[in-house]
Structure 1
């Protein structure tokens, strides 16, 4: 069913039907009611493309979210769910694009064909050509994360530097002197992923302030990599008594590696890091962690993007979150006995 059929049955022109649907110009009440009766009889629903042509809006937001590996992690799925839920509250749909750089065909289709009104960008890099490109062409976007030059970019960020620093100080306050840092995969660090770099900066800074003996590791986003990383940590320095991790997906493997090495958590070894609360609570013992507020961040990003769409001339706004460490059961005082 199309506008032509509605016009024919209502005895008016196609342009009159189009104007009545878009509301761009007034039509007489009699004509509007006549058209509405036909629409009700036929069960007509204008498709998304027609609505976009009529009012300049698609009622769809783009979520540009490349998976770091061959799958989305639990935390990433939490973010996707939070964005979809927040968008629905504003009566918007979400179109997911797994684009890592602005030259990706998916990214170009999303923007070039104007399939969405604005975009939320995830997995931000310190030098991110997607952010630069959208800012350059004036396309409304909000970044979840911060580039090295955040001026002019609307964003919602997590202060990974401060959060990892807080984890290190928490361990040092309990007497731990030899601590490992388990980061995201090496390819993400090389690619300039913002969270991986800022987390590493926070770890290095806090360790230097406290005079700690430390080692840093990159780890794949899966349990097997986590177990292998833990084995390497204890091989490199058996006296290591604690670790801080940014890698939630590897957490189960880190715990398994400790169990197989005979290290009891937290009596012999403490574990802390940055993770979504519901994931921190799935391991035993539950993880003492700076809880990533995925739901809040997704909601804030959608709210900022809607604000930007409704007020195109508004100055850029930013939210930088630094949630406190939630003390659970995975950290304790450093053991005073001999090293294993």
Structure 2
């Protein structure tokens, strides 16, 4: 079914049907109603390409989210799903552009071909070439996470520095004096992933303020790496009685590693960190954690981008989330042997 057939059945010209669909020119209410009746009868859906050509808008947002490794982790998929759901609530589709082994060609295609109205960038680095490129191109975008120069962009982020600090203070108040920090992988840390660096800053600052001994460890984003990290922690300092982590993908391995070394959570060893709430409650015992809300972050990112599309000259707006630490069963008083 096409515009010509709708025009024939409605007894109007093709251009009149086009104006009724695009809204570029006013037509009489009677003519519009006659055209709409034919459209309803035929269940006509104009193509996305045609709508974009006539209106200048694709009603599609780009999601630029290179995976941390050769695949997406379950946690990354949670974020992707939350953003797609939020966009759908505003009548937008989402087109993913993953830069896997091809630099930023996927991103550059989005801009050059104008396949999307704007973009959301995830997995942000402190020095992120994607942000620089889109800024220079004048292409609308927001980020989930923020660079080392965040004041001139729109972003939503977790306050990793403050949240990791809250976790350390919680453990220190329970009497723990030797605390480990399990970060993201060495590759991501060297690449400048902002969450890894800001988390480490929060850990080091809080350990100094609380007068506790802290040691930081890099850890791959998988369970096996979590088990290995526990081995390294206890080999380096057997008196360690607690850890803070921002590595959700390694969480199950951390628990298994502690059990393999005869540490019972929380009687012998306390675990806390930053995690999506559904992952914090999926382990046993449930994780005391600052709960990340993928749905809230996805919704905030979409709203910021749509605000930018509607008012391009408005000053940049930021959303920094700092949820409280939810006390669950994975933390307890430091064992006497750890004091």
TM-score normalised to structure 1 length: 0.93
Structure 2 unpaired stretches of 5+: none
Contact (CA 8 Å) 2:176, 2:338: kept in 1 or not? Answer: no
Root-mean-square deviation over aligned CA pairs: 2.0
Structure 1 unpaired stretches of 5+: none
Quote the residue 1:114 is aligned against.
114
User: For 1:289, what is the secondary structure of its paired residue?
Assistant: strand
- Measure the CA separation in 1 of the matches of 2:100 and 2:305: 20
- Measure the CA separation in 2 of the matches of 1:8 and 1:201: 68
- Measure the CA separation in 1 of the matches of 2:209 and 2:102: 39
Structure 1 residues 27, 141: CA separation in 2 closer, same or farther (over 3 Å shift)?
A: same
- Measure the CA separation in 2 of the matches of 1:130 and 1:291: 28
What whole-Å deviation, never above 9, does each CA across 1:226-264 have from its counterpart, x for those lacking one? Answer: 001111111111111111111011000000011011111
Quote the residue 2:81 is aligned against.
81
**Superposition pairs for residues 63-102 of structure 1, below 5 Å?**
63-99=63-99
Q: Which moved more, 1:19-28 or 1:150-159?
A: 19-28
Q: Which moved more, 1:89-98 or 1:279-288?
A: 89-98
Structure 1 residues 144, 329: CA separation in 2 closer, same or farther (over 3 Å shift)?
A: same
Quote the residue 1:237 is aligned against.
237
User: For 1:240, what is the secondary structure of its paired residue?
Assistant: coil
Contact (CA 8 Å) 1:160, 1:202: kept in 2 or not? Answer: yes
Contact (CA 8 Å) 1:65, 1:100: kept in 2 or not? Answer: no
Q: Which moved more, 1:314-323 or 1:18-27?
A: 18-27
Structure 1 residues 332, 128: CA separation in 2 closer, same or farther (over 3 Å shift)?
A: same
**Is 1:218 paired with 2:214?**
no
Compute the displacement of 1:68 (Å).
0.7
User: For 1:337, what is the secondary structure of its paired residue?
Assistant: helix
Structure 1 residues 8, 291: CA separation in 2 closer, same or farther (over 3 Å shift)?
A: same
Q: Which moved more, 1:249-258 or 1:105-114?
A: 105-114
Contact (CA 8 Å) 1:121, 1:142: kept in 2 or not? Answer: yes
Compute the displacement of 1:57 (Å).
1.4
What whole-Å deviation, never above 9, does each CA across 1:211-235 have from its counterpart, x for those lacking one? Answer: 3222211111111110011111111
Number of residues of Structure 1 aligned to a counterpart in Structure 2: 339
Structure 1 residues 337, 151: CA separation in 2 closer, same or farther (over 3 Å shift)?
A: closer
Compute the displacement of 1:208 (Å).
1.8
User: For 1:156, what is the secondary structure of its paired residue?
Assistant: strand
**Is 1:207 paired with 2:207?**
yes
Contact (CA 8 Å) 2:241, 2:338: kept in 1 or not? Answer: no
User: For 1:81, what is the secondary structure of its paired residue?
Assistant: helix
